[in-house]
Amino acid sequence: MGTDSINLASALRDDDQPGFALHRGFADAAIGNAMLDEVIAIARSAASGNDVTPAWVVKESQEGFVGHAPEDYVAKIFKLHRTGTFRSFLALPEVASILVAAIGPDVDCFLSQFIFKNPGAWGQPWHQDSYYFPFEPARPIVGLWLAVTRATLENGCLHVLPGSQAEPVHQHVPDSRPGSVYGYVEIVDHDMDASAPCLLSPGDLMVFDSHLMHRSTDNLSDEIRAAMVWHFCRPGTVDLGIEIAGTKIESPLNDFMPVIRDGIAVGDAVGK
Ligand SMILES: O=C(O)CCC(=O)C(=O)O
């Protein structure tokens, strides 16, 4: 399914559409491997006590989690989209074409995260990304999820609920598992029986609307299930923040950066 043959904006947001699109074989697996090398270097540097900002390392917090190398204990690394392969990927013409079709001629990237999902790591419960994005305007917000490794039922692939982009943002309750990753929340007031797993190969790319309900399951295998995720909006989108003790706090993980202007990617691309 290519961006030329479908109306991507409709596929993502119209009520009778799935709310996501899958581009199989989108990128060479070498691109994901380069990203994995870069995040491993960041994880090791952080473990040695170095300042790795702007990168923001979040470790697994489940009790009894087993690992050997520093990166084995990392759940996610945020704020990567201004550097390295994470940045240059966004300048690929094929990426620009998807983003223009999904959002329009002007696009900002505001969030990025590399998800390690090492063996034994828990998945992320059912949620809608817009729960985390108290923005004005609230939409369009679009995510790109690049499979760095294969994603299988055993290693904790994504599951989506097609059509759920038509739902408002539901109530989310805190993930009840003690030691789950900081910030995980869960939708418990919706039937997920019609959900489907997304079985992916390295280099496959998922594009999804921020109201789409999705989750990932636990990694029960002995292999890593890694993915790189970016989120995008229109320029001028404002983070309204959440109110804590009477003060509006914007997420420190958000960092709005231009990626497309007048339909043209800003920045240098890597080869596919
Ligand atoms: O890849 C995962 O394990 C979860 C990703 C996810 O749910 C998200 O990026 O919103």
**Residue 158 CA to ligand 1 centre (angstroms):** 7
> How buried is 182 (Cβ within 10 angstroms: 0-12 exposed, 13-18 middle, 19+ buried)?
exposed
Q: Tokens 């300048």 map to which residue?
A: 91
What is the helix, strand, coil percentage profile of the chain, to 5?
20, 25, 55
The predicted-structure confidence for 124-148, as pLDDT tens digits, reads as follows 999 999 999 999 999 999 999 999 9
- Section 248-267 average pLDDT: 93
Counting from 1 in the atom list of ligand 1, the atom nearest the Cα of 145 is 9
**Residue 20 CA to ligand 1 centre (angstroms):** 14
* 253 pLDDT more than 70: yes
Instruction: Name residues contacting ligand 1 (CB within 6 A).
Output: 115, 117, 123-124, 129, 158, 214, 216, 227, 229
- Section 21-31 average pLDDT: 97
Question: Could you give the CA distance from residue 227 to residue 148 in angstroms, rounded to a whole number?
Answer: 5
Indicate which residue's Cα is closest to atom 10 of ligand 1: 129
Counting from 1 in the atom list of ligand 1, the atom nearest the Cα of 113 is 9
Mean pLDDT of the chain: 93
CA distances from 228 to 34, 44, 47, 116, 206 (A): 11, 18, 21, 9, 11
In this predicted structure, what is the pLDDT of residue 177?
87
CB neighbour list of residue 130: distance below 8 Å, 6 or more residues apart = 138, 139, 141, 169, 210, 211
Indicate which residue's Cα is closest to atom 7 of ligand 1: 215
Query: 142-147 and 205-209 as β-strands: parallel, antiparallel, unpaired?
Result: antiparallel
**Residue 121 CA to ligand 1 centre (angstroms):** 13
Using DSSP's 3-state secondary structure scheme, residue 33 falls into helix
Counting from 1 in the atom list of ligand 1, the atom nearest the Cα of 129 is 10
Q: Which parts of the chain fold into alpha helices (H)?
A: 8-13, 29-47, 84-88, 93-102
Cα–chain center distance at 86: 12
* 9 pLDDT more than 80: yes
Counting from 1 in the atom list of ligand 1, the atom nearest the Cα of 215 is 7
Counting from 1 in the atom list of ligand 1, the atom nearest the Cα of 115 is 1
Q: Tokens 């223009």 map to which residue?
A: 100
**Residue 246 CA to ligand 1 centre (angstroms):** 30
- Section 93-112 average pLDDT: 96
Residue to substitute in 145, 164, 186, 195 for testing ligand 1 pocket (most ligand atoms within 8 angstroms of CB)? 145
Task: Yes or no: say if 204 and 23 are a contact pair by the CB < 8 Å rule.
Answer: yes
Task: Yes or no: say if 67 and 244 are a contact pair by the CB < 8 Å rule.
Answer: no
Rg of the chain taking only CA atoms, in angstroms: 18
In this predicted structure, what is the pLDDT of residue 201?
98
Kindly state the greatest CA–CA separation across the chain: 50
Counting from 1 in the atom list of ligand 1, the atom nearest the Cα of 156 is 3
Report the predicted TM-score, pTM, of the whole model to 2 decimal places. 0.95
**Residue 124 CA to ligand 1 centre (angstroms):** 6
In this predicted structure, what is the pLDDT of residue 245?
74
Give me the domains of the chain, ranges plus CATH numbers.
18-260 (2.60.120.620)
In this predicted structure, what is the pLDDT of residue 272?
40
Question: Could you give the CA distance from residue 158 to residue 138 in angstroms, rounded to a whole number?
Answer: 24
